[in-house]
Amino acid sequence: MTLAYLSARNKYRIEREEKSGKGFADFIFHPRRKNLPGIILELKANDTPEAAIAQIKSREYTEKLRKENVERILAVGLSYDTEKKEHQCVVVDI
How does pLDDT run across 12-47, given as a tens digit for each residue?
999 999 888 899 999 999 999 999 999 999 999 999
Residue 85 confidence (pLDDT) above 90: yes
Number of separate domains in the chain: 1
pLDDT score, position 7:
86
pLDDT score, position 92:
98
* Bridging pattern class, strands 73-81 and 86-93: antiparallel
Share of the chain above pLDDT 90, in %: 84
Assess if residue 73 is contained within a domain: yes
* Residue pair 56/46 in contact by the 8 Å Cβ criterion: no
* Residue pair 28/15 in contact by the 8 Å Cβ criterion: yes
DSSP string, 23-81: EEEEEEEEESSTTSPEEEEEEEESS-HHHHHHHHHHTTTTHHHHHTT---EEEEEEEEE
Residue 67 confidence (pLDDT) above 90: yes
Assess if residue 10 is contained within a domain: no
Assess if residue 2 is contained within a domain: no
pLDDT score, position 33:
94
Assess if residue 5 is contained within a domain: no
Assess if residue 60 is contained within a domain: yes
Residue 2 confidence (pLDDT) above 80: no
Domain span at 30: 16-93
Residue 71 confidence (pLDDT) above 80: yes
